[in-house]
Structures are given as structure tokens and as C-alpha cells.
């Protein structure tokens, strides 16, 4: 598995870490426009000081950069710069840069090492860990890609100071998710220190990032290629969330916001099936009520869409197997399982209705 380092300033350690991992000091640094503006100077000065040979590349800060067109352009830049198999790639950014950088690294010269330097809360706790790298196809997100584990994940939580609040909350949804699926004590910690974590205060933010990244790495290590159902538990709340995102055409709702709403639905569904108690449901909902949406609009739309429409959209999601919806449910707070038995639509609809009342 990849080594995950959490520290400030993590970049100062880059030479030592590369040497430890037998990585050559020849690096392609991939930024998006924002991470280049925010961290480009500090990173290039450090690389220079520590004797690296490096090439910098920058892509637009948007989801559409995860495309074959952008990848093709970058391959050309790397060939022009005489980058070959002895090089590696350092991806500095959120999930977009991490996924695109990982995709390029997995394919260029049949594969060069990738080092992730995530700069969003979502990337630090989720997308930079676990080796799933992909670009989008016009017919669907993340359809073209590889399993390409990062050699190293270098996390510096101080980079989050400049992250807009909406992006912080988007990552926070996944942080809460880890508490629900794997660690009840962590859920309590999040409940107690929610305000400090979203305000990027130490030591709370580092603790939240370190624990989340650790849980993700642990799950991925035990079920790398999603065969035992364990890795699928990382999708807690996501069956509902994908339906909501699809309905919104991936526009007005961010993934993390959809996951927050999806987890409210999944908690209700768990309670209906008797796998969590009523008081556990209340405890779970109390954490999720701390979640802030940019405006009331997201929740209002959620309440206004008929539950049947949401369910229909969930049915059209690509990630289902044998046309059967797969739900990740809780077996008490802090433990998740993949519910493989088919569920009646009526119980799912009831869970959505109740979730609307609690939002
Ligand atoms: N590979 C995986 O396992 C996995 C898992 C989850 C999500 N993803 C992918 O991740 C992507 C979403 O990632 P994301 O939410 O990080 O979005 P993102 O990469 O688009 O970043 C969000 C925005 O924040 C900006 N930004 C980044 N760091 C910043 C900082 N420190 N300060 C200020 N602004 C900063 C970016 O430039 C961008 O505008 C999606 O494409 C999704 O498919 C992949
Ligand atoms: Zn997610």
C-alpha cells in the first residue's frame, strides 16, 4: 500500500521521502490553475532547493479537465519535455488533478509512479487514496481508467486554509461517512469538534484527515479490487446520492452535498430494516444536521422532488449490478455492510420520505 504522510510543511520532506521510496528526483508537477497560483511558487522553490529536475504543467480548474482531450495534450507536453519512464508525476490539487494525474501516470510510457499531494479535503480523505484513477467519457463519469496506486500520498492540512467553505463541506461529508461506516469513536469526535474541523483548526483538522485517510487506506488494502463487498461500504449514502446528482445533471448539487442527503436516507433505511435503533438514528441525524449547504436551495429541491422520481433516477445509475440497487447499510453506528438482498421499492420510498422530513 501507499505510504500516507500527514504533516506541515510536508513539501519540505519531499527529497527524503522520494529517496526512501526509490523515486528519482525527476518529476512532472501537475497543477490546476488555482493550485498553481496558490502553491506553485512554494513547491517549485522547494524542488529547486532540493535538487529536483522538474517540469510544470497546468490544466483548467474544472471537471472537464478529466478528459481524453486534456490527457492527449499533456502527453504531447511531456514528450516535448523529454519525459520518459525514469520520471514520476506529482499531482497537486483536488480530485480532478489527482484523477487526471493518476490516469496520465498509469498510461504514459506504460506507467510511471504517481505521488499525490492533495489540496482539497475530499482529495486528502478520499480521492488521493486507493489508486482508482480515471477520466470521464461523454457518456459517463470516471468510465475510463486504471487501478494505479500512488507511491506516496503527501498530505498537508494547512493547504486547506484557502479552500472555499462549500468545498470544505463537500469533503466533510466523506469524513462523516468514515465515522458511520468504520469508527464510532471517530463519529463522536466529529460530533464534538465539528465546528473546529470545518474551520480548519488544529489539531482537529489533522486528526480528522489522518483518521479518514487511514480508514480509507485500510478498507482499500483489504479489498483493493472491490471483490469482497468491503470496499463497496465506502459507498454508504452513495446509492441515493448518485440518483440525486443525476437528477440535477451534476450541476446545482455537489457530490458531498448529495452524499450528506444520501446518508440521511441510508440512516432511515437502516432503521426501517432494524439494523440500527431509533436512538442511533437520532444520534446519526444529529451529526448530519451540522452539515451546511451553501443555500437552502439544495435541501428545498430535495424536499420538492417526489420520492418516486429520486428512486427512478437511482435505478438508472451505472453502478448497479444486475439491475438491482445495492445499498450500504449500517449494522449499528460505526459498522457498515453491503445489503445484497433485493429490497422492496416501498421501503426505499418510505426512507426517502422520512429523510425529507428530517432535512
Ligand atoms: N479516485 C477516487 O477514488 C475518487 C473519489 C472521490 C472523488 N473523485 C473525483 O474527485 C473529483 C472531485 O474532487 P474535488 O472535490 O477535490 O474537486 P476539484 O479537484 O475540482 O477541486 C475543487 C476546487 O477547489 C480548488 N482548490 C483545490 N485546492 C484548493 C485549495 N487548497 N484552496 C483553494 N482552492 C482549492 C480547485 O482548483 C477547484 O476549483 C471528481 O472528479 C471525482 O470524480 C475520485
Ligand atoms: Zn463520495
Each of the 359 residues of the chain gets a pLDDT tens digit; together they read: 899 999 999 999 999 999 999 999 999 999 999 999 999 999 999 999 999 999 999 999 999 999 999 999 999 999 999 999 999 999 999 999 999 999 999 999 999 999 999 999 999 999 999 999 999 999 989 999 999 999 999 999 999 999 999 999 999 999 999 999 999 999 999 999 999 999 999 999 999 999 999 999 999 999 999 889 999 999 999 999 999 999 998 888 999 999 999 999 999 999 999 999 999 999 999 999 999 987 778 888 999 999 999 999 999 865 555 578 999 999 999 999 999 899 999 999 999 999 999 98
User: How many other CB atoms are found less than 10 A from the CB of residue 59?
Assistant: 24
Q: Are 181 and 126 in contact (CB under 8 A)?
A: no
Give the Cα separation of 209 and 276 in Å (integer). Answer: 26
Q: Are 99 and 135 in contact (CB under 8 A)?
A: yes
Dihedral of the CA atoms 89, 151, 328, 341 (nearest 10)?
110
Closest CA to 100 of 154, 52, 136, 149: 136
Active-site residue list:
110, 132, 174, 216, 226, 231, 235, 238, 242, 255
Residue 238 assigned to a binding site? yes
CATH code for residues 3-161: 3.40.50.1970
User: What residue spans in the chain does CATH classification 1.20.1090.10 cover?
Assistant: 164-358
User: What residue spans in the chain does CATH classification 3.40.50.1970 cover?
Assistant: 3-161
- Residue 144 has a pLDDT of 98
Q: Which atom of ligand 1 is found nearest the CA of 99?
A: 1
- Residue 129 has a pLDDT of 98
Ligand 1 atom 13: the closest Cα is on which residue? 95
| CATH 3.90.1150.10 given to domain 164-358 | no
- Find the distance separating the first CA and the last CA of the chain, reported in whole Å: 39
- Residue 251 has a pLDDT of 84
Taking each helix axis from N to C terminus, what angle separates 184-198 and 278-288, rounded to the nearest 10 degrees?
Answer: 20
pTM over 0.85: yes
Closest CA to 337 of 257, 264, 228, 222: 228
The DSSP symbol for 127 reads I
Closest CA to 127 of 29, 291, 256: 256
The residue whose grid cell reads 522538474 is: 54
Task: Name the residue of 2, 34, 101, 136 to mutate for ligand 1: max ligand atoms within 8 A of Cβ.
Answer: 34
The residue whose grid cell reads 504533516 is: 7
Q: Compute CA distances 312 → 57, 129, 345, whole Å.
A: 42, 32, 10
Give the Cα separation of 108 and 327 in Å (integer). Answer: 36
Instruction: List, chain by chain if needed, residues with CB within 6 Å of any ligand 1 atom.
Output: 32, 34-35, 38, 61, 63, 66, 93-97, 99, 119-120, 122-123, 126-127, 130, 132, 141-142, 159-160, 162-163, 167, 170
- Residue 318 has a pLDDT of 54
Give the Cα separation of 29 and 179 in Å (integer). Answer: 33
Q: List % helix, strand, coil for the chain (3-state, nearest 5).
A: 55, 15, 30
Q: Are 123 and 132 in contact (CB under 8 A)?
A: no
Closest CA to 297 of 252, 254, 262: 252
Residue 55 assigned to a binding site? no
- Residue 254 has a pLDDT of 94
Amino acid at each position: 500500500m501507499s505510504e500516507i504522510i500527514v504533516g506541515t510543511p510536508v513539501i519540505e520532506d519531499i527529497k527524503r521521502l522520494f529517496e526512501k521510496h526509490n523515486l528519482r528526483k525527476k518529476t512532472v508537477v501537475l497543477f490546476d490553475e488555482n493550485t498553481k497560483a496558490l502553491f506553485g511558487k512554494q513547491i517549485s522553490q522547494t524542488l529547486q532547493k532540493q535538487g529536483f529536475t522538474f517540469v510544470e504543467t497546468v490544466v483548467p480548474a474544472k471537471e472537464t479537465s478529466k478528459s481524453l482531450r486534456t490527457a492527449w495534450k499533456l502527453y504531447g507536453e511531456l514528450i516535448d519535455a523529454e519525459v520518459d519512464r525514469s520520471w514520476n508525476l506529482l499531482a497537486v490539487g483536488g480530485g480532478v488533478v489527482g484523477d487526471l494525474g493518476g490516469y496520465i501516470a498509469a498510461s504514459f510510457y506504460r506507467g510511471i509512479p504517481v505521488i499525490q499531494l492533495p489540496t482539497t479535503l475530499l482529495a486528502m480523505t478520499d480521492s488521493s487514496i486507493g489508486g482508482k484513477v480515471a477520466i470521464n467519457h461523454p457518456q459517463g463519469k470516471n468510465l475510463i481508467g486504471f487501478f494505479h496506486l500512488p507511491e506516496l500520498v503527501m498530505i498537508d492540512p494547512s493547504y486547506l486554509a484557502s479552500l472555499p467553505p462549500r468545498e470544505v463541506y463537500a469533503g466533510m461529508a466523506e469524513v462523516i461517512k468514515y465515522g458511520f461506516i468504520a469508527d464510532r469513536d471517530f463519529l463522536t469526535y466529529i460530533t464534538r469538534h465539528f465546528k473546529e474541523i470545518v474551520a480548519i483548526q488544529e489539531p482537529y483538522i489533522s486528526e480528522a484527515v489522518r483518521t479518514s485517510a487511514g480508514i480509507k487506506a485500510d478498507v482499500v488494502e483489504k479489498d483493493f479490487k472491490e471483490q469482497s463487498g468491503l470496499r463497496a461500504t465506502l459507498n454508504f449514502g452513495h446509492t441515493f446520492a448518485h440518483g440525486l446528482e443525476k437528477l440535477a445533471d451534476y450541476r446545482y448539487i455537489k457530490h458531498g452535498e448529495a452524499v450528506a442527503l444520501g446518508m440521511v436516507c441510508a440512516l432511515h433505511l437502516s432503521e426501517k430494516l432494524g439494523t440500527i435503533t431509533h436512538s442511533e438514528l437520532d444520534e446519526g441525524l444529529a451529526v448530519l444536521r451540522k452539515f451546511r449547504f451553501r443555500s437552502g436551495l439544495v435541501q428545498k429541491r430535495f424536499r420538492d422532488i417526489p420520492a418516486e422520481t429520486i428512486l427512478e433516477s437511482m435505478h438508472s445509475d451505472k453502478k448497479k449490478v444486475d439491475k438491482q440497487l445495492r445499498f450500504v447499510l449500517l449494522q449499528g453506528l460505526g459498522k457498515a455492510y453491503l445489503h445484497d438482498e433485493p429490497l422492496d421499492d416501498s421501503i426505499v420510498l418510505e426512507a426517502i420520505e422520512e429523510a425529507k422530513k428530517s432535512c
